[in-house]
Structure 1
């Protein structure tokens, strides 16, 4: 069964705002699970909406109204979801603070969004609220939600009113706040494809402040999806238990998590009888991993391409060949249009690398309180001009080549790291790879490959990788140096942290000419 062969229990076009949809979800989905914190707590759709309306009444009494921003500094889970829904009912705007961001980024989020209130758990080890902003404790918010007292005010909220602000990771500067309205959220549900089917049970490892959660509220309500949070702290055994015990139908994870799951002794394929699709996030899955997941677990892996500014862009399909799953991010999803252009906006032929531009209902309305940046980020045809580089294959699949700032120039030739990473990642002795450019005399920049080996006791040599790469790519794309690592560092958005890798390259190359293990 795929989502394309079924109809959702609710239809987005029938609802004027998020509050109306929440009420319908409570009636239609009723006692079905809405959120599950394995081994801790769970809540039905009916109770979720009941608590959200109770909290909304409490927030209203404390002055929160339509258009106000409320910041959440809470762990991912039921309480976060209740607060998000309550704020939406009032026509207010929710923003979340990613727990991996530092104090500088957190201050920038508050400076840009100017929340009238922050709801924070003082006991969860999360960031402090910057000085000068009102704070409500998690305990007080939970008590208000459970009380069932008060009347939610009637607020005229439309689908074009803002619902959420999602901030970028701040990897290349201070975070920027992309905002979305209910029409955006409805478009995300319409573009879900194989990711959504009636009453799915979805395992998510995405922090709730991430666009992967904040943009999916309508998708969850329309399809009746149970959101199952991952084990904390994460472990392969914990993931296995959650997939089995919670009858998960859609499982998400980064490649390393899938690899570690497959390494568990006594892996029982019958434990995954409910799982219909696995989703790879943040980094590509190697062809070997795609094959092993299908063989050992019995489900296909699919890849999704997204960004903070457009939480849905493109994706592969379960029946795509493993090479397509590894080397591309599939075709544009329903309602999305993707162009690959030169710097002047001229569309490029298939196979030629250029800037990726995106238009469709899932794309942000702009950056919060920053009209200048918003105007600079869209072209005259209404396409969002991303910082990603890519190309279309002859079959029409989109392949990523890297970020604009990630490309390096070796001896006058452009090298896009993702292409090299994909090639190295196919080497039988490589589990995962990342490549960055590093300044060098005479030729400008060289390629430094960071490699997680299949066997830590027997990693491939630099010459192995150079020979492998030269047989498949232009010779100047072969890495010049190799550093063996236990894991590729990730940023707050769970993507390869190239800033950290460049620092590591500088550190190691100042001490060694060729290869160093970290």
Structure 2
């Protein structure tokens, strides 16, 4: 069933009022809630008034160095208070803030600089930077620049339809593309947030700040007067456990492997989770037994979210959904979000059939920065964005993802959707993580290769065991034909599974260095 289109009602926000731009809402938050904490990073604490003061000083410094309204300011900093200040400073000036993942290589960063036409780059002290950027600011210089005369009344007149931020895609199919959003996009996030946002939340944030999960939620943070507690750069379960208790966290999110590591800590049974109101999981299916254990241990609802760089709000489960729903689906469209499933011609498919997931909402990007051809390929004039994901609606209207369109392979004339097979294999007790990719094969066209991180390295599963497990639950043609046991799955700089790297491996014989057996 295709869910109906929803309107956007007003939300009861601590920071009420009508605001045109990020600068307007930030100034109001600093004035009305000056002492509330905006950021916590280790021993450092930054209030909303101090965040605004520092960002306004940096905006004045950027203007003094030649940065103007509409110019692109790249921020290649690790997730930090400095990143938040640099991003806000650029927005106060009316410039376009663009986070750059510090794990990207020189070629990727060079492509982003060229593609964005950046006028300024704010970078880590030791980072190598290209020589063709007009203005380079190092992290060490930021404290002094933040103390410069504030922009204040010299702030340019910015409209809600003006570009605000650029978020770069993961680049898994080539050079990263810049999804750009205007100020109205950022405002719309407060209406589509649903249970993910509540007044005065204290959020434990492990999402890299260069991602859409942070940058597109800046207005949301201000409107709800939320505190972002920044996780240590090197994540570990004990830090997560400690910070939840010490900082009285109300919202926490993690990927399934992180939740599994947290649940494995002996001390988790005695931990204090009394302040948590909700927990979230994303990026990969969470096994039903793990979801049930997380919910029982934390004593709060667990929800699953589905989004993309280009559409940061799409679907989500709701508090009270059972573990099977959390594992097999990504929930219902969020408020104000339209979803439909279409065939290759763009025609909606019959209920329950598999097709391409398309989304339309006020938070969908305006396009790819300076790339009209790429924009036209995915964004229709009537606002429908084609995600490239394949999915179907179940009988309750929940979206079930079956994989990326480019990931599907054809075995003996039958379509195989890797995500469907991965979900089944993830429930095998000897499987820690799994990814399926297709590879060419004689006679039958393509076969499936399962890359598996064992739950216990001393007892890796066999191909026969996994095939038998699949045959009991799926059609026989969906069972993988080859198994690669690996120590870890490769990740892109944006922390997504690097399927290009895995596809490169399948042409190499087992024992090439990526296998344990």
TM-score (norm 2): 0.94
Asked whether the equivalents of residues 282 and 494 of structure 1 are also in contact (C-alpha less than 8 Å), the reply is: no
Change (3 A) 1:511 1:158: closer
1:504 equivalent in alignment to 2:505: yes
Q: How does 1:280-291 map to 2 (within 5 A)?
A: 280-291=281-292
Change (3 A) 1:475 1:226: same
| 1:132, distance to aligned residue in structure 2 (A) | 4.2
C-alpha distance in 2, partners of 1:30/1:506? 59
C-alpha distance in 2, partners of 1:432/1:357? 28
Asked whether the equivalents of residues 269 and 298 of structure 1 are also in contact (C-alpha less than 8 Å), the reply is: no
C-alpha distance in 2, partners of 1:129/1:203? 34
> Which of 26, 47, 52 is the matching residue for 1:49?
52
**1:476-511 Cα shifts (integer Å, max 9, x gaps):** 001112222233222223222211222233334486
Partner of 2:516: 517
C-alpha distance in 2, partners of 1:418/1:506? 21
C-alpha distance in 1, partners of 2:178/2:463? 41
Partner of 2:79: 76
| 1:296, distance to aligned residue in structure 2 (A) | 2.2
| 1:189, distance to aligned residue in structure 2 (A) | 1.6
Partner of 2:220: 219
Which deviates more from structure 2 when the two are superposed, residues 101-110 or residues 458-467? 458-467
1:23 equivalent in alignment to 2:27: yes
TM-score (norm 1): 0.94
| Equivalent pairs, count | 509
| 1:198, distance to aligned residue in structure 2 (A) | 0.6
Change (3 A) 1:279 1:269: farther
Q: CA RMSD in A?
A: 2.0
- SS class of match (1:14): coil
C-alpha distance in 1, partners of 2:195/2:388? 27
- SS class of match (2:364): coil
Which consecutive residues of structure 2, in runs of 5 or more, have no partner in the other structure? 1-8
Which deviates more from structure 2 when the two are superposed, residues 47-56 or residues 262-271? 262-271
| 1:359, distance to aligned residue in structure 2 (A) | 0.7
Which deviates more from structure 2 when the two are superposed, residues 457-466 or residues 14-23? 457-466
**1:117-176 Cα shifts (integer Å, max 9, x gaps):** 1111213xx452453432122222221213555645131111111100111111101111
Asked whether the equivalents of residues 170 and 492 of structure 2 are also in contact (C-alpha less than 8 Å), the reply is: yes
Asked whether the equivalents of residues 484 and 510 of structure 2 are also in contact (C-alpha less than 8 Å), the reply is: no
1:475 equivalent in alignment to 2:506: no
Change (3 A) 1:129 1:202: farther
C-alpha distance in 1, partners of 2:179/2:73? 15
| 1:30, distance to aligned residue in structure 2 (A) | 1.7
1:121 equivalent in alignment to 2:120: no
Q: How does 1:60-459 map to 2 (within 5 A)?
A: 60-123=63-126, 126-147=127-148, 151-459=152-460
| 1:219, distance to aligned residue in structure 2 (A) | 0.5
| 1:262, distance to aligned residue in structure 2 (A) | 1.0
Change (3 A) 1:152 1:41: farther
- SS class of match (1:400): strand
Change (3 A) 1:426 1:217: same
C-alpha distance in 1, partners of 2:489/2:399? 24
> Which of 10, 14, 18 is the matching residue for 1:9?
14
Which consecutive residues of structure 1, in runs of 5 or more, have no partner in the other structure? none
| 1:467, distance to aligned residue in structure 2 (A) | 1.5
Asked whether the equivalents of residues 205 and 229 of structure 2 are also in contact (C-alpha less than 8 Å), the reply is: yes
- SS class of match (1:237): helix
Asked whether the equivalents of residues 57 and 152 of structure 1 are also in contact (C-alpha less than 8 Å), the reply is: no
Asked whether the equivalents of residues 367 and 375 of structure 2 are also in contact (C-alpha less than 8 Å), the reply is: yes
Partner of 2:490: 489
